[in-house]
Chains A and B, each alone.
Chain A
């Protein structure tokens, strides 16, 4: 399905986007500079790589979410999806001893949850936040039941390589992040599917009337979100070397914050995956900085909530100015 050339639905032009990305990059450098002034240890290569590794996990969870939000939807189940996928994968690896079964289980479970989300939204015509919010609790409940209060730990070394290994001196999770980021970027900017996703997010009725198969595209978006949550669960499991049903829940707020801080509008039709990557790095630096300043970990939910609120208000101000000037 091609869209008439007059309907250019790519994110306006490249320059404002590039400027916004540059702005976020400068912000990151400024915060990093300030933290280095407080504690020179912050700028050490090992700390920076460690932070990038943390950020890569957050990015993986947020990447599929970015696609869904660009398409005008929302996926609140990404954290619970990660939890359930990680628990099932850990059990599969433990019982079979073969890491590849774990990979298959995690990716399969993640994708299936995404598929179920898309199905509920398409068939039952539920609002996305309601369907995925319900899925959050269902997946969480299954994970708690499945684990029955146990923690599965001690993954084989060949599997832990996913989370702790290095390739060409760079941690493997960062490579995985780069691949996912590139894939999402190509999908969004170089394929019809990507264009249709922006179109759907900007104006769903117009997209439907222009012949975009909205339901099929939407289903695929949620499947992709589930897929990235499944991939993230593998990286998390490999790094943590343990699975328990509480791991994913604290990731939901930071993931949404990363998407919003990255400049993707919650109203759909606008945003890009590079921004989400920078947003994930920014959030990780903030948490790392709080740790450097000896702020207790109990503050993290407060900080994440505050970042979400600030980001969404900033998003509103920016979009109002944009629509006011253009």
Chain B
């Protein structure tokens, strides 16, 4: 795949265009369109908003890319985000320190990541059903802990952290960028990253090569839920409250971002930067529709349509490449 793209790049502008994923084209199209409709779209405050929203979505979409590259899926990501937020909030309310609260949510996230990973990697159960089941567990625990009510009134330090800046860059954006850099290094510059990529291609071959493939597979899920558990701090910082069902549906946006970015469910052909493009496309779409004051439930429908459009573009592009090659 990557080889063909490199070849195309050398042979002319038209074919270079065909190498951009559908999400990239749609992103440019949407940017132009929303700017024409409402110039306020490119104001500094609004672009900052887009950045903040993208960074939170990326905290889910980046680990999801790794998971999908192993031909897996995590439907429990949104529920874990909600549960982690509830745990942090409840721990803070119970008088724990911020670090202790984070440690508590970290322990729960790692435990659930390990549960997902063991069932998927070691027992070879289908990821979508395993994570659907654990989603039920997480949602249930979050509801039981809170009785279904939002939790607020904890230390404002969390919100201060969310609103703080690191050298003029909002902390959430800096964290998302650091996470991207770290995962990029892990995936493309370490042996572990090679193994992760290899699991999606051929897990048996990896095992036969003497690598503990199951352990690597498990590690992907544990890493994913660790990241999600910690990003819950950003989520509850944004609204200064934790709600047990707030994360529900975010797994859809994360998966949509990854698929928009051109990562395939088959053979684990993936692209980490694709998740950034996809997350940006989704956030820009939501933001633009907000400016057009379109109902948030219809925005979800539009994300679905965007996804289908991107897939159609990618399919057409593949056929084009095949025809010209």
Contact = CB atoms under 8 A, between A and B. Distances in A.
Nearest to A142: B301
Given A126-B311, A129-B73, A299-B140, A256 B125 contact: no
A256 B132 contact: yes
A97 interface: no
Interface in A110-148: 120, 124-127, 129-130, 133-138, 140-145, 148
B137 A302 contact: yes
Nearest to B266: A127
Contacts of B259: 130
Given A120-B308, A129-B128, A302 B299 contact: no
B84 interface: no
A125 B318 CA distance: 13
B140 A74 contact: no
Contact of B265 (A74, A120, A127, A301): A127
A124 B144 contact: no
B133 interface: yes
Contact of B300 (A138, A298, A299): A138
Contacts of A140: 297, 300
Given A124-B308, A129-B128, A140-B300, A309 B119 contact: yes
Place the interface of chain B in its size category. 35 or more
A223 to B, nearest CB: 19
B262 to A, nearest CB: 14
A130 B252 contact: no
A301 B132 CA distance: 11
Given A126-B311, A129-B73, A141-B301, A308 B129 contact: yes
A305 B300 contact: no
Interface string A291-326: 000001011111111101100110010000000000
B141 interface: yes
A266 B311 contact: no
Given A130-B265, A312-B129, A302 B301 contact: no
A260 B132 CA distance: 13
Nearest to B75: A133
A180 interface: no
B252 A298 contact: no
B126 A266 contact: yes
B108 to A, nearest CB: 14
Nearest to B135: A305
Contact of B136 (A138, A260, A301): A301
B265 A309 contact: no
A138 B304 contact: yes
Contacts of A141: 297-301, 304
Contacts of B249: 137
SS of A interface (majority): helix
A253 interface: yes
Interface in B127-154: 128-130, 132-141, 143-144, 147-148
B140 A300 contact: yes
A266 B144 CA distance: 30
Given A134-B304, A312-B125, A302 B136 contact: yes
Nearest to B140: A302
Given A253-B132, A303-B140, A124 B312 contact: yes
B155 interface: no
A305 B123 contact: no
A309 B134 contact: yes
Contact of A134 (B73, B137, B307): B307
Nearest to B127: A129
B73 A305 contact: no
A256 B147 contact: no
B50 interface: no
B140 A124 contact: no
Contacts of A305: 132-140
Interface string B236-255: 00000000000001001001
Nearest to B314: A124
Contact of B144 (A126, A256, A298): A298
A306 B136 contact: yes
A32 B308 CA distance: 47
B256 interface: yes
Contact of B301 (A124, A129, A145, A253): A145
B97 to A, nearest CB: 28
A145 B140 contact: no
Contacts of A124: 308, 311-312, 315
Contact of B130 (A137, A300, A309): A309
Given A142-B297, A145-B295, 17 more contacts: A126-B311, A129-B73, A133-B75, A137-B252, A137-B304, A141-B299, A145-B298, A252-B132, A253-B133, A298-B147, A299-B144, A303-B140, A305-B136, A305-B137, A306-B133, A308-B129, A309-B133
Ordered nearest first, which 10 A-B pairs have the shortest CB separation? A305-B136, A302-B140, A144-B297, A141-B300, A308-B133, A301-B140, A309-B133, A138-B304, A298-B143, A305-B137
Interface of A: 74, 76, 120, 124-127, 129-130, 133-138, 140-145, 148, 252-253, 256, 260, 266-267, 296, 298-306, 308-309, 312-313, 316
20 contacts: A124-B315, A126-B265, A130-B259, A133-B255, A138-B300, A141-B298, A145-B297, A298-B143, A298-B144, A298-B148, A301-B136, A301-B143, A302-B141, A305-B134, A305-B135, A305-B138, A306-B133, A308-B133, A312-B126, A312-B130
